[in-house]
Amino acid sequence: MKTIGKPISRLDGTWKVTGSAHYAADVVRPGLTHAVIVGATIPAGEIISIDTKTAEAGAGVIKVLTYQNVPKLAGPLDSPPAGQKMMPLQSPVVTFEGEPVAVVIAETLEEATEAAKHVRVDYRAAPFVTDYLQRRDQAIEVAGFFPNDTKVGDVAAALAMADRSVTEIYRTSDRHHNAMEPAASVAEWRNGELFLTTATQGVQGNRAVLAQLFAVEPKRIHVNVDFVGGGFGCKGWLWPHQALCAVAAREVGRPVKLVLQRSQDFTSHGYQPATEQTVSLGAKSDGTLTAVRHGSLNPTSIKDDYMETCATASRPLYATPNIESSSRAVRVNRNVPTPMRAPHEGPGLVGIEIAMDELAYALNLDPLELRLRNYAEKDPTDGRPFSAKRLRECYTEGARRFGWSRRTMAPGSMKEGNDLIGWGMATAIMQTFRQPAKARASIDTDGLVTIEGSTQEIGTGSVTIAIQIAAEVLNLPVERVQLKWGNTDLPDAPMTAGSTTTLSFGSAVHDAASKLRDKLKTLAGSEELAPEAYGEWVRRSGATSLVVDGEWAPGGDSDAIGQPKTKALNSYGAVFVEVRIDRDLLIPRVVRGVGVYNAGRIINPKTAHSQMIGGFTWGIGQALLEHTPMDHRLGRYLSKNFAGALVPVNADVPALDVSFVEEPDFESSVLGARGIGELGATAVGPAIANAVFHATGKRVRELPIRPEMLL
Ligand code: MOS
């Protein structure tokens, strides 16, 4: 039965609209109590005294936890990538506004919320800095997923010799994930074992960090999640509020529910940090690139490390003999940033792809033509050939669908009525992350197949896709296959992050299902086994079910993110947009968007399409709306709510034309799939910025673009 490649609707769609899908905050346990976090009101200093008496005397209050009565937890932890190094309530020192200083546990949420208002904290305030650009001179190296520095050839010499060059500074803004579901956890200890239901993208990572934190064996920690109402990276790590929920449950000896308020979401997990990127490009007069240099800077917190490695985007992008990159971070009094949908490439392409547009204008060369003339046949930074790269077809097909050949080069040359029209484009790229994964497959005497693995469903279609893969291998309709997921007691699957689930967990499912099929064929002694007879063969074997274990891992020569030494695995795309700008209002509106993507074999065209239009929408937000402003005098976010944090709504998003250039990439995975989800959130921001320049002649080098920048 052909199931892979079919546009099957998400199975969880029905469960969600009928209310049968459960989220962490829906969990109710006998004797459940409720916890509310009290956050620091200053960004730096020390607690002099905490008065919890009034709070403790409040109706229904069971306990108030502060650094004075929380037992010492392990730390610093050896994470990231699974969590922060530092956990809260371990000292009186405050390093950012919103940092937890107390947790109130009460019989009801209302009682805990009320009592939390009466926890009185006196601080000795200390000087602070929240604006990372004030501390450029104190930039440091912190560890990230990628090398901070790379260097090939002599960029300085090549720039000096170049016929044309561009050196500019580009900035992106702090953005929050703003998931619809705020962070939520329910923790319970039974016989020294922790049972935690929590909104997470990674149950196994949460378990690993909690085990370290409480110094207990990992197998005594059980983390569970059925559904996640939006992750986008902010539910990847184990965050302090989840740890505090577990601490609270242990201290009161009862189950505890902790759901963050919307405002607390802004400071209780990470955000996508602002970046300042300096890009230099050098070229011959025919457009041949001779030099690429990409530097970036981002804020990180006082105690924890996060590196937004922007040059991850530019390192494999264009052929050039001289290429250099470097990333640095600056410590400020803020919560630590974290990956957010298309980390690294998402912000990084803003720098390199606006710079490419600037170079195209300096050369008077069509921006698409400039990219085609510098098409990379191997990774210019490390020389690895690419696996199954079909970016050229993405450019050609995207240009055709968009009608790019009708574009006139001069800024302001395309108008209609009062509208300035701008057409812009950019290249999309994202490194493919590959992670080891396991899955178990079983079949019962009715022929019903169950796949098990600890993967998560964060709304991207992972459950549907896993079932599709197993159904295809076993030649069954999807209705005959079910999946158990989202629990640490199931076979290990990676965090649902880095756009790796389909190819990594999916490959383990493929392996498990293949082994189950082989076992059935052996039982039947026939290659020609009809799926209708599966249950019968299980019955005849005398067992109630057959069970097999499957697994998949990137090859032995792969690095920590799963990139092989011999091949560069990336997914690609070309994005074209039309903006219209009323010349009196100067509000850019995206009216048309085309994205053509190449991510290996597409397992489910419907969920893949949804991921790309979702990503496109993130890009519109990055370009025109999303920005979490800080008040640097008070050292806090200005608006911790949806009224003050703009995100694109339906009216901001036109019908988008997204499609795929498909070619199975078996160097990436047995499925032929590569990384896909986050690819859609790349390239759209710079394409829009380039379109705004084309419409107006104003080169804006800072996102989001606001009307006042176009005056
Ligand atoms: Mo994603 S930002 O890797 O969850």
Could you tell me if 254 and 105 lie in one domain?
Answer: yes
Which atom of ligand 1 approaches the CA of 499 most closely?
A: 3
**Within a domain: residue 600?**
yes
What does the block give as tokens for 625? 């709306």
Number of domains in the chain: 3
Which atom of ligand 1 approaches the CA of 233 most closely?
A: 4
Q: 426 CA distance to ligand 1 centroid (A)?
A: 22
CA 535/CA 613 separation, integer angstroms: 41
What does the block give as tokens for 121? 């904290």
Q: What average pLDDT is seen over the chain?
A: 96
Q: What are the beta bridge partners of residue 383?
A: none
Give residue 184's pLDDT band: very low, low, confident or very high (50, 70, 90).
very high
CA 512/CA 552 separation, integer angstroms: 9
Could you tell me if 428 and 386 lie in one domain?
Answer: yes
**Within a domain: residue 696?**
yes
DSSP 492: P
Could you tell me if 196 and 71 lie in one domain?
Answer: yes
- Reduced to 3 states (helix: H, G, I; strand: E, B; else coil), residue 19 is coil
Give the mean model confidence (pLDDT) for residues 428-452: 98
**Residue 82 confidence (pLDDT):** 81
Which atom of ligand 1 approaches the CA of 235 most closely?
A: 4
CA 246/CA 240 separation, integer angstroms: 10
**Within a domain: residue 170?**
no
Q: Is 678 a catalytic residue?
A: yes
The arrangement of strands across the sheet holding 588-598 comes to 415-416, 419-431, 570-582, 588-598, 656-660
Among 276, 397, 678, 702, the one annotated catalytic: 678
Give the mean model confidence (pLDDT) for residues 454-476: 97
Could you tell me if 576 and 619 lie in one domain?
Answer: yes
**Residue 506 confidence (pLDDT):** 98
Residue ranges around ligand 1 (CB below 6 Å):
201, 231-233, 236, 339-341, 343, 497-498
Give the mean model confidence (pLDDT) for residues 232-242: 96
Please compute, for residue 346, the number of CA atoms within 13 A of its CA located in the half-sphere on the CB side. Answer: 31
**Residue 645 confidence (pLDDT):** 83
Peptide linkage before 531 cis (omega within 30 of 0): no
Which atom of ligand 1 approaches the CA of 433 most closely?
A: 3
**Within a domain: residue 206?**
yes
Give the mean model confidence (pLDDT) for residues 410-429: 98
- Reduced to 3 states (helix: H, G, I; strand: E, B; else coil), residue 687 is helix
- Reduced to 3 states (helix: H, G, I; strand: E, B; else coil), residue 5 is coil
Stretch (H or E) spanning 373: helix 367-373
Residue 81 clears pLDDT 80, i.e. is over it: no
DSSP 562: S
Least confident of 139-143, 425-429, 555-559: 555-559
CA 511/CA 273 separation, integer angstroms: 39
**Within a domain: residue 168?**
no
Q: 482 CA distance to ligand 1 centroid (A)?
A: 26
**Within a domain: residue 412?**
yes
Could you tell me if 661 and 694 lie in one domain?
Answer: yes
pLDDT in tens, 325-344: 999 999 999 999 999 999 99
Closest CA to 206 of 190, 222, 191, 220: 222
Residue 23 clears pLDDT 80, i.e. is over it: yes
Share of the chain above pLDDT 70, in %: 100
Could you tell me if 282 and 345 lie in one domain?
Answer: yes
Residues with Cβ < 8 Å from 7, sequence gap 6 or more? 604, 605, 606, 609
Q: 660 CA distance to ligand 1 centroid (A)?
A: 22
What does the block give as tokens for 160? 């000096």
**Residue 556 confidence (pLDDT):** 79
**Residue 438 confidence (pLDDT):** 98
**Residue 80 confidence (pLDDT):** 66
- In angstroms, the Cα distances linking 525 to 517, 520, 542, 648 are 12, 8, 16, 58
Give residue 555's pLDDT band: very low, low, confident or very high (50, 70, 90).
confident
DSSP 115: H
CB atoms within 10 A of CB 522: 11
Could you tell me if 532 and 668 lie in one domain?
Answer: no
Residue identified by tokens 């201290």 is 251
Please compute, for residue 616, the number of CA atoms within 13 A of its CA located in the half-sphere on the CB side. Answer: 29
Could you tell me if 256 and 355 lie in one domain?
Answer: no
- Reduced to 3 states (helix: H, G, I; strand: E, B; else coil), residue 296 is strand
Q: 340 CA distance to ligand 1 centroid (A)?
A: 5
pLDDT in tens, 42-73: 999 999 999 999 999 999 999 999 999 999 99
Give the mean model confidence (pLDDT) for residues 465-485: 97
Could you tell me if 196 and 104 lie in one domain?
Answer: yes
pLDDT in tens, 337-392: 999 999 999 999 999 999 999 999 999 999 999 999 999 999 999 999 999 999 99
Read off φ and ψ for residue 369, nearest 5 degrees. -60, -40
What does the block give as tokens for 172? 């992106």
pLDDT in tens, 602-622: 999 999 999 999 999 999 999
Give residue 86's pLDDT band: very low, low, confident or very high (50, 70, 90).
confident
Q: Which domain holds residue 446?
A: 435-552
Give the mean model confidence (pLDDT) for residues 442-459: 98
Read off φ and ψ for residue 419, nearest 5 degrees. -90, 130
Could you tell me if 337 and 420 lie in one domain?
Answer: yes
Q: 233 CA distance to ligand 1 centroid (A)?
A: 4
**Which residue minimizes the CA distance to atom 4 of ligand 1?**
233
Could you tell me if 118 and 191 lie in one domain?
Answer: yes
pTM confidence score = 0.97
**Residue 528 confidence (pLDDT):** 87
**Within a domain: residue 482?**
yes
pLDDT in tens, 575-609: 999 999 999 999 999 999 999 999 999 999 999 99
Could you tell me if 92 and 239 lie in one domain?
Answer: yes
Read off φ and ψ for residue 244, nearest 5 degrees. -65, -35
**Residue 259 confidence (pLDDT):** 98
**Within a domain: residue 15?**
no
Check which CATH number belongs to the domain holding 446 and give it.
Answer: 3.30.365.10
Closest CA to 571 of 594, 606, 596, 605: 596
Check which CATH number belongs to the domain holding 48 and give it.
Answer: 3.90.1170.50
pLDDT in tens, 496-528: 999 999 999 999 999 999 999 999 999 999 888
- Residue ending a domain, choose from 501, 521, 552: 552
Q: Which of 228, 238, 678, 679 gets mutated to test ligand 1 (max ligand atoms within 8 A of its CB)?
A: 678
CA 230/CA 199 separation, integer angstroms: 9
Q: Which of 341, 344, 501 gets mutated to test ligand 1 (max ligand atoms within 8 A of its CB)?
A: 341
CA 390/CA 405 separation, integer angstroms: 21
CA 171/CA 243 separation, integer angstroms: 34
pLDDT in tens, 261-284: 999 999 999 999 999 999 999 999
pLDDT in tens, 66-76: 999 999 998 88
- Residue ending a domain, choose from 552, 582, 612: 552
